[in-house]
Amino acid sequence: MVLRLRFGENSFLFTGDNGAATEKAILQAHCDIRVSVLKVPHHGSATSSSPEFVGAVAPRFAVIWTG
């Protein structure tokens, strides 16, 4: 699941464990996905967070969950 949340002047993109296929689908939908904060997909693995996706999201901040 991918969720975009807006709270006042800030917006957040919670990406769950999406990978390259989900990112591609989101980009192809041509939605406005620019946000203030990006929860980096799939713990920052090599199979997510393509340069194209990060460029389209253009976050001011990025958060990576670690175990």
pLDDT of the residue at 42:
67
Domain boundaries, the chain: 3-63
- Tell me the pLDDT tens digit for each residue of 11-62: 999 988 788 888 899 999 998 899 999 998 766 666 677 889 999 999 999 9
In terms of C-beta density within 10 A (0-12 exposed, 13-18 middle, 19 or more buried), how is residue 39 classed? middle
| Residue 49, H or E segment | none
Long-range contacts of 30-34 (CB under 8 A, 24+ apart): 33/4, 33/57, 34/58
* Beta bridge partners of residue 12, listed in sequence order: 5, 37
CB atoms within 10 A of CB 63: 12
The radius of gyration of the chain's CA atoms, rounded to the nearest angstrom, is 11
pLDDT of the residue at 64:
86
Question: Is residue 63's pLDDT more than 70?
Answer: yes
Average pLDDT over residues 6-15: 95
